Structure 1
Amino acid sequence: MSLPATLSERTLETLSSALGLSITEDVALTSAMSPDPVGRLRVLRGGPIDKAVTVDLVVPPIGLDSHMIFAFTGKESAVPHFTLDSVYGGEYYAMHLDLIPRADLAVHLEYLDAAFLPLTPLLEAAWLTDGVSPAAVGPRQRAMMSPWMVVCRATETAFGALGGTVDAYLRHWLALVDKGVPAVHTDLPARDAANRANLFSPQVDPVWTQVTRLLGAEQAERVRRELQA
């Protein structure tokens, strides 16, 4: 199993065990590029969150080895969503690790301090890791995320070292799920729906063009709908 796949599965196992999640859907993803499936879409439910969604895409001929986890909290919850995307692109490793805010941080300082401020030393240490460099993500797309997002390219050694950062982010997130966060004054379901519509929009994230090219429009939309709903 590759480094990205190993990290993703380990993270999913920890998350599932801690929250009592079980797989409710496991769908093979196919492509005209290969007679065999090129990936899978899994949905896990149970415990105190809404659901977790994983998308694995492995296509050696084009150097793609991508593993994404999104753990979505409930519609009425202010606890951030958790996400990890671990990738090998043929020439470099890449990672996207974040807690996605459920409220505007600039006007909810107590929420910011509880949910995100403890991540600061982890974020700073990650950027000091030898072999880690920023990924090419523009400010428009960053606006959907948090300032504590780790989105980077990495050498093999650096990617391995970032596993500790992933574990620490996940531990913090699980503690938030368990203990809760300060109340926020916003329409949580409406804000979440709007944010996720933008977060997974092809007009915002160019990765959907590549996913559609690989899987075809119908399967790509199936994956996107699962992430948005």
Structure 2
Amino acid sequence: MLRPEHCLRLLPPVATPGLAASAAPFCCPLHRRGAVHQFRPPRAPALRLGGKPSSAVRASAGPDAAVAPAPPEMPQREVARALAEKAVARLGPRLLPSAVPEDVAEFRNGAGNAVGSLDVRRGAPGSSIDFMLESTLHCKVPNGAIDITSILIFLNTMTDAPHFLLELIQGSSTSIVVILDLLPRKDLALHPDYLQKYYENTRMDEQRSKIEELPQARPYRSPSLFVRSACSPTAVMVSIDCGQGGEGTLEEIVHGQLAAVSKEFLQIWLDCCADSTAEMDDAERDCLLKRDQIVRSKSIEVDLTASLPRMFDPDVSSRVISEIRKAFGVQEP
């Protein structure tokens, strides 16, 4: 979950009901020219990317707290849901059913201004799939909202093929940050055959250029050197800003070019990575496992432990982080 670190740091601290009115205004760098996205009444009852809505959102904060409404059905959620359904349909029996507790599958804070969902499906025994994780976060603040949608599909040490990553971060109705990549699991300079197999032969750069050549797109550079070093040279890392009054243009881009490129990234991953196996000796496998663990631990450290406690009550964020640690195979510090 390699999200833009500087954006997440600007989320407001967790507000108690008595302090909600005095929370600092949201000042997200994702919108530079456009108007801040205004929170609108929900059109869809469910928050999760997949599955059925449950009563966990209401139950997670007690009977006296107002229920945080689900956000409107945004274009990026629709794109992510279509990708998740495509992945599940292809992977089929290689994925186990979700075992995430209800109070983590859907959760909210006591102040009622943030809601989230998490779904984790582990790989079946004998499968090269380690886990598939889908998550959404929506935080309402006095002058807008931030919405984050993620899909991660990680492989285990039966293969050295890349992982799949999609992260969509919207802090304005006219702008969105996109991080889309097949995360390499080897040093590409030391393994040119790996670079050729997964990135050159699959013509990943052509897909990246379809997004970067949009007139509304600007390169996104994470302030975290670790995040930038973990991604491939063909990663889509852009901020798409359509300017004031550009809500319709952004929606067209998300449903059009972004949806098409994301679908192609996933198709390449499904065709070239999901079914891949690799013969490795113990030393190679240990090195691969160590690298995976570093990436997972660092993403939790940089991302979740910094952002979730600012959005959700300590008990809620603790439950969610614990489930993600379990999926990532990362022990508590």
Instruction: Give the TM-score normalised by the residue count of structure 1.
Output: 0.86
State yes or no: 1:148 paired with 2:226.
no
Q: CA deviation at 1:153?
A: 1.6
Q: Is the 8 A contact 1:94 1:153 kept in 2?
A: yes
Tell me the distance in 1 between the aligned counterparts of 2:88 and 2:234: 23
1:176-215 maps to which residues of 2 (within 5 A)?
A: 176-180=272-276, 186=284, 187-202=287-302, 205=303, 208-215=305-312
Pick 1 or 2: higher relative contact order, CA cutoff 8 A, min separation 6.
2
- Higher mean alpha-carbon deviation, 168-177 vs 41-50, is at 41-50
Q: Is the 8 A contact 2:122 2:327 kept in 1?
A: no
Tell me the distance in 1 between the aligned counterparts of 2:278 and 2:321: 35
Structure number with greater Rg is 2
In the other structure, the counterpart of 1:164 is 260
Per-residue deviation, residues 92-116 of structure 1 (Å, max 9, x unmatched): 2221111111111111111111111
Tell me the distance in 2 between the aligned counterparts of 1:3 and 1:152: 17
- Higher mean alpha-carbon deviation, 79-88 vs 177-186, is at 177-186
Tell me the distance in 2 between the aligned counterparts of 1:151 and 1:208: 23
Q: Structure 1 residues 183, 110: CA separation in 2 closer, same or farther (over 3 Å shift)?
A: farther
In the other structure, the counterpart of 2:146 is 64
- 76, 101, 104: which one pairs with 1:4? 76
In the other structure, the counterpart of 1:88 is 170
Runs of 4+ in 1 over 4 A off after TM superposition: 181-185
Per-residue deviation, residues 68-126 of structure 1 (Å, max 9, x unmatched): 11101113420111011123212422211111111111111111111112201111222
Tell me the distance in 1 between the aligned counterparts of 2:279 and 2:186: 10
Consecutive unaligned residues of structure 2, counting only runs of 5 or more, are: 1-72, 243-249
**Letter matched to residue 134 of structure 2:** T
Q: Structure 1 residues 104, 228: CA separation in 2 closer, same or farther (over 3 Å shift)?
A: same
Identity among equivalent positions (%) equals 21
Supply the RMSD in Å over aligned alpha carbons: 2.4
In the other structure, the counterpart of 2:45 is none
